Structure 1
Amino acid sequence: MDGFKLMKELRVNYEQEHHYLPKETGLSLIESTTQDDSRISAKCRDAKVEDLWSLTSFFGYSTQTFVLAVNLLDRFLAMIRIQPKHLSCVSVSCLHMAAKVTEEECNLASTDALIRIGQCRFTVSDLGRMEKIVAEKLNFKSKAITALTFLHLYHQIALSHATDRKETLSLEKLEAQLKACLCRISFSKAKPSVLALSLLRQEIEAVQSEDMLEIAYHIQRHLKIADSELLLWSERVALCLSDYASPECSKPNHRRLQWIVSRRTAQNLHSHRSVPELPTIPEGCWDESESEDSSEDMMSSGEESLSSSLGSDAEGPFFPLHLRRQKHRQHLHA
């Protein structure tokens, strides 16, 4: 695709991105929710996104599938007030919906496999019912404009105009860093175009390419992104990736899944017939003034997270080496 068509497509996506943003008021309510509340907290949401990352890796799904699943999840959580015990069903439903859009049919995992590998406490019929609810509430058909949409366009534009060091701008590295950011709900408030440009700018500065830096400035001017807005999210991206490179940071295991399960859970993994159905899901929208019956059940303490602190992308080539070394030295002296 030539430069003119790329810039035109970029502008079209920029003008439509607000249609696919989660409601900021809903995100703020999630961030303000305490861990012992009967609503979804930011920590609870972030843990489920890490689980989605692990499942995406396990089934060999693309970054596009993961990013779309997170987008659907955040938009739904910011719109509909759900209880923590329903979060697993919602998140896996979003992953399955995203995969059906982005993956080849022959590569799709079955709903039964998703439930078993995800160690979920719901049935195939629960998952199908939840997918219909999510699709209806979000008016979801087949696409969404996300930060990955812009990251791919920015990368194509940069490589089509740059004259030096093209091989240093790795799209795989940029995608890995985007996934790390999406594991924190705060980045769901960023405009996709701005978040993607923040990641691109940081990588360009890391490879010290004046040519590509000028291209990034041109993209910023073309989309009329304010310097203050770009600086704000660039600083947050840098901090997130620095934290993510730390050995103290618990991250989704990108290479393998490991669980320690109880005998009852092991039995459930072999026979979904013993899995109890969830009660009907209330479809009340977010309302800060509303309160819920405190006697309602919370998510079972037996639910295990798929993510593990053993191994991570931060140990590979995708995160700044000097940050990894600096954090490792701090860890040793602590």
Structure 2
Amino acid sequence: MESHKRFDAKHLMKMLGEHLAKSSQWSPFLYKSTGSPDEVLGFQRDRIVGWVLSLNTEFRFSPETLGLAISLIDRFLNLVKVRPKYLPCVAICCLYIAAKTLEEDEVIPSTKDLVKTIKCACSVAEVLRMEAIILNKLSWNVKQATAVDLLHIIHGLLMSCYPKLLDGLSHLTPSQHLSMMMRKIFHCLGNHQLAVFSPINLVLSIVSLELEQITPNWFSIISMVQQVADINNQTFIQCREMIGQHLTKHGFLPSGYQFRVVKRSKSIKRKAVDDEEEDLYDGIKRLYSEDSMETSAVRKSCSSEFVQHQDTDDRSSFLIPAVSAM
């Protein structure tokens, strides 16, 4: 989604419906904690996701590309029993496919430059072969709705329908607020235990935890989006609790917002709440629009923040033998 354009609430709701339709065939990804040496375990999947994130930062790809790459990794591992020694090659190819799908041509490296930059024992021929295997197994159905896509749309809806949402926060613009939630999305996408929840559940859980800290009306806001997305209450509650525990454990909650101190009379406070509720349900046709330099800086910061909270191995440890079989 191009965040520099202005979309009204109606258009955003249409986009949300289209993205939810794309993810209707989503199925949970289950990873074992222990198992055979010939199968990818949960910790191995998480480690490779952290490595992909560092590569995404190095190539300066967008958060959307990273989100799609992680989705492709999970989808492929859900279809094919991959030996752990081939996992780095799978990850590289998923990132490359995602970049070709979403990035501008001028920022996409050639296969030769990709292999040279990564500096691992994966040859050009192996990358091309693995890329073809992945695309065939996915029936060339690459572009599906990811948590990153859904977060952009839902955050846009919040800013459009609830324009006073961030008024009480000191020096926090809509794009900065989006960036804070994006970091949490990537941190959750790096945890295989949360891969059992759909992208919309992940996004709504994170958004609800965020809104709970900044507005007393958070439940009514989330309920509105939940009804539109037709999300099961029990699944949503379970997802929200697990994400809350995960983010708290790793220091992401509470967010440490700084609130403005404003003295108001009781009648003014009541009027402010009434105005906010009216804004919410009327759906003011407005979406934030900030200069491209700030937006670009925010996009680049999302990936780098996640690296600080992931246990990633040194890139030189990913030495890939000849790809002969999986």
Same structural fold, with TM-score higher than 0.5 when normalized by the shorter chain: yes
What is the root-mean-square deviation in Å for CA atoms of aligned residues?
2.7
Cα distance, 1:176 vs. partner?
0.9
Structure 2 gaps of 5+ residues are 1-6, 167-171, 253-305
> Residue 109 of structure 2: SS of its match in structure 1?
coil
> Residue 31 of structure 1: SS of its match in structure 2?
coil
**1:180-219 residue pairs with structure 2 within 5 A?**
180-208=187-215, 210=217, 213-219=219-225
For residues 163 and 213 of structure 1, the distance between their equivalents in structure 2, rounded to whole angstroms, comes to 17
For residues 61 and 233 of structure 2, the distance between their equivalents in structure 1, rounded to whole angstroms, comes to 35
Q: Is the 8 A contact 1:180 1:244 kept in 2?
A: no
Residues 261 and 43 of structure 1: CA distance in aligned 2, closer, same or farther (over 3 Å):
closer
Structure 1 gaps of 5+ residues are 266-274, 283-334
Partner of 1:295: none
1:252 pairs with 2:307:
yes
Cα distance, 1:161 vs. partner?
0.8
1:157 pairs with 2:201:
no
1:177 pairs with 2:232:
no
For residues 6 and 209 of structure 1, the distance between their equivalents in structure 2, rounded to whole angstroms, comes to 24
For residues 197 and 165 of structure 1, the distance between their equivalents in structure 2, rounded to whole angstroms, comes to 16
1:91 pairs with 2:91:
yes
Task: Tell me the number of residue pairs that the alignment of Structure 1 and Structure 2 aligns.
Answer: 259
**1:43-62 residue pairs with structure 2 within 5 A?**
43-62=43-62
Residues 78 and 33 of structure 1: CA distance in aligned 2, closer, same or farther (over 3 Å):
farther
Residues 118 and 243 of structure 1: CA distance in aligned 2, closer, same or farther (over 3 Å):
farther
Shift >4 Å, 4+ stretches: 257-262
For residues 16 and 279 of structure 1, the distance between their equivalents in structure 2, rounded to whole angstroms, comes to 32
Say which of 5, 14, 19 aligns to 1:8: 14
233-242 vs 8-17, greater mean Cα deviation: 8-17
Q: 1:265-305 CA distances to partner (integer Å, 9 max, x unpaired)? A: 9xxxxxxxxx98614124xxxxxxxxxxxxxxxxxxxxxxx
Partner of 2:232: 226
Partner of 1:278: 322
For residues 199 and 62 of structure 2, the distance between their equivalents in structure 1, rounded to whole angstroms, comes to 18
Q: Is the 8 A contact 1:150 1:192 kept in 2?
A: yes
For residues 145 and 224 of structure 1, the distance between their equivalents in structure 2, rounded to whole angstroms, comes to 16
Residues 154 and 109 of structure 1: CA distance in aligned 2, closer, same or farther (over 3 Å):
same
For residues 276 and 218 of structure 1, the distance between their equivalents in structure 2, rounded to whole angstroms, comes to 48
Aligned partner of 1:252: which letter? V
For residues 116 and 190 of structure 1, the distance between their equivalents in structure 2, rounded to whole angstroms, comes to 36
**1:9-88 residue pairs with structure 2 within 5 A?**
9-19=15-25, 21=26, 23-24=27-28, 27-28=29-30, 30-34=31-35, 37-88=37-88
Residues 104 and 260 of structure 1: CA distance in aligned 2, closer, same or farther (over 3 Å):
closer
Q: Is the 8 A contact 1:195 1:233 kept in 2?
A: yes
Q: Is the 8 A contact 2:54 2:307 kept in 1?
A: yes
More contact order relative to length (CA 8 Å, sep ≥ 6): 2
For residues 6 and 252 of structure 1, the distance between their equivalents in structure 2, rounded to whole angstroms, comes to 31
> Residue 307 of structure 2: SS of its match in structure 1?
coil
Residues 145 and 276 of structure 1: CA distance in aligned 2, closer, same or farther (over 3 Å):
closer
Q: 1:193-252 CA distances to partner (integer Å, 9 max, x unpaired)? A: 111111111111122252x54332211122222322211111111122123338xxxx73
For residues 276 and 12 of structure 1, the distance between their equivalents in structure 2, rounded to whole angstroms, comes to 39
Aligned partner of 1:63: which letter? P
Residues 260 and 136 of structure 1: CA distance in aligned 2, closer, same or farther (over 3 Å):
closer
Task: Give me the TM-score of the superposition, normalised by structure 2.
Answer: 0.72
Residues 261 and 123 of structure 1: CA distance in aligned 2, closer, same or farther (over 3 Å):
closer
Cα distance, 1:110 vs. partner?
3.2
For residues 114 and 145 of structure 1, the distance between their equivalents in structure 2, rounded to whole angstroms, comes to 26
Q: Is the 8 A contact 2:72 2:142 kept in 1?
A: no
Q: Is the 8 A contact 1:33 1:39 kept in 2?
A: no
For residues 81 and 201 of structure 2, the distance between their equivalents in structure 1, rounded to whole angstroms, comes to 28
For residues 260 and 200 of structure 1, the distance between their equivalents in structure 2, rounded to whole angstroms, comes to 33
1:243 pairs with 2:287:
no
236-245 vs 188-197, greater mean Cα deviation: 236-245
Aligned partner of 1:92: which letter? I
Cα distance, 1:94 vs. partner?
0.2
Residues 65 and 277 of structure 1: CA distance in aligned 2, closer, same or farther (over 3 Å):
same
For residues 133 and 237 of structure 1, the distance between their equivalents in structure 2, rounded to whole angstroms, comes to 33
